[in-house]
Amino acid sequence: MFVLRATAKLRQRIGPSAPYEGEGSTTLLGDWYATMLPWRPQVALLVNERTLLPALMPLAPAATMAARVADQVGEVLAAYGVPDSLIRAEIDQMSEYRIAPTANRSIVGVMNEFTFLADTWRDAARPNLVDLAVRLAATPCSPLYQRHVSPDRELTALLQRTPTIW
């Protein structure tokens, strides 16, 4: 089970879900934060709380967006060469979700920065969403300065610390 911490504007679009009762995510990556990008077609920007790893996905249909997060996260993890067994385990754990409000202003700030960068890079090259997420992940983020500086390096470090039981 994972917690999708969505902005108020996005929560209005994706509708209600099972009530959030303070449960924590059981996945390796933990909670995911999400916001809506007002592109045509609209896109959801996801940022992982633990690694700040970004993922982008089509918002439509909004009612099923939360249920589709796991597949998009799997695509982004595959782009980094994460072992298939670990991706499958993460996706299986993400089959159940809860939607909650955002709880970390620092991550909301990172989402705002990624939104600005994604707007800039999208217009320049028109890459697909996974390629754009990979490019965003190389961005230095101040919450990671004392650790591994960028989300892609933070993900690599997390995977190196993870036991190979997958």
23-72: per-residue pLDDT in tens?
A: 788 899 999 999 999 998 999 999 999 999 999 999 999 999 999 999 99
Which of 15-19, 56-60, 114-118, 137-141 shows the lowest mean pLDDT across its residues?
Answer: 15-19
Write down the residue that tokens 């809506």 correspond to: 36
Domain residue ranges in the chain: 2-161
Alpha carbon distance 100, 17 (integer Å): 9
Tens digits of residue pLDDT in 91-126: 999 999 999 999 999 999 999 999 999 999 887 656
Q: What is the DSSP letter of 103?
A: -
Q: How confident is the model at residue 147 (pLDDT cuts 50, 70, 90)?
A: confident
Q: How many CA atoms lie within 13 A of 97 on its CB side?
A: 25
β-sheet bridge partners, residue 48: 32
Put simply, whether the predicted model's pTM sits higher than 0.85 gets the answer: yes
Q: How confident is the model at residue 129 (pLDDT cuts 50, 70, 90)?
A: very high
Alpha carbon distance 166, 160 (integer Å): 13
β-strands 32-37, 97-101 pairing: unpaired
Q: How confident is the model at residue 132 (pLDDT cuts 50, 70, 90)?
A: very high
Looking at the predicted structure, is the pLDDT value of residue 142 above 90?
Answer: no
Alpha carbon distance 142, 92 (integer Å): 31
Mean pLDDT of the region 82-95: 94
Determine contact, residues 117/110, Cβ cutoff 8 Å.
Answer: no
- Alpha carbon dihedral 127, 133, 150, 108, in 10-degree steps, equals 120
Torsion region of 52: left, alpha or beta (phi above 0 gives left; psi -120 to 50 gives alpha): left
